Amino acid sequence: MPQYKRMDIKETINMAQLPQHVAIIMDGNGRWAKERGKLRVFGHQNGVAAVRDTVEGAVEIGIKFLTLYAFSTENWNRPKLEVSALMELLVNTINKETKTLMENGVKLHAIGDLGKLPDKCRSRLQEAMEKTAGNTNCTLTLALSYSARWEITEAARQLARQVQAGTLSADEIDETTFAQHLATRGMPDPELLIRTSGEQRISNYLLWQLAYAELYFTEKMWPEFRRTDLFEAIADYQKRERRFGLTSEQLTK
């Protein structure tokens, strides 16, 4: 940040042009812990504070949808110990953080193959979603046991079933109907994707929904990410020209 002191970054954001939906790939917990001579789980534990501050930051400026990649389909293949520690952390965090969600008017939502989660995890999640269902400031979606290819395949299967049952004709399937069968139905597509830890890839996240998202990568590891980093990403996003296939001249006409 050469131009502004970090404290001032919020002032540089144009509140009239906020993205409605910000998606984040929270990455780098393991490396952050290893750099400190700790176990990977220590990184996940410290990632919770980053989630809390980011959610509060999103509410503070008025982001309506925040979607966090918390656990991918592929993450099930990690060592058993890490997977169970992550599931445990999830249960405890959902318990503890429901209060923060209520205070901030945040509605909790989850997308992914939730049937694969341990029962306790799923029931805690369900409780927190029910408790926060009436909140309207921001929808916080956790992508859990999620992968975009899983989601797209599920949508295709649902549509095929309807065609098979004769309740839908194949010709009626367009981008709108397809999107209505995705886990994110009813949400606007993310305008901005943030990934921490310096990795520059999508890792099977929201492949359909990110079609025209602006991508923002930061070297920061997830446990160190805070609301000012979110604000920096949004300020950067606002400097970009989103052309959607048009020419720059068409946009300024």
Q: Is 154 marked within a binding site?
A: no
CA distance 141 to 162: 27
Q: Which residues pair with 109 in a beta bridge?
A: 141
Least distance between Mg ion and beta carbon 35 (Å): 14
Packing angle, helices 80-103 and 119-131, rounded to 10: 10
Residue number with CB closer to ligand IPE (61 or 87): 87
Q: Is 78 marked within a binding site?
A: yes
Q: Is 226 marked within a binding site?
A: no
CA distance 182 to 179: 5
47 binds Mg ion (CB under 5 A): no
Residue at token pair 């996240």: 205
Residue 27 annotated in active site:
yes
CA distance 90 to 123: 12
- Which 5-44 residues touch ligand IPE, going by CB under 6 A? 25-31
Least distance between Mg ion and beta carbon 27 (Å): 4
Partner from Mg ion, ligand IPE, none contacting 162, C-beta within 5 to 8 A by type: none
CA distance 13 to 98: 29
Residue number with CB closer to ligand IPE (140 or 235): 140
Which segments of 104-165 does DSSP mark as H helices, in order?
119-131, 148-165
Active site (catalytic) residues: 27, 75
Interface residues toward ligand IPE, by CB under 6 A: 25-31, 69-72, 75, 86, 197, 199, 201, 203, 222
Query: Where is the binding site, in residues?
Result: 27-32, 40, 44, 72-74, 76, 78, 195, 201-203, 214
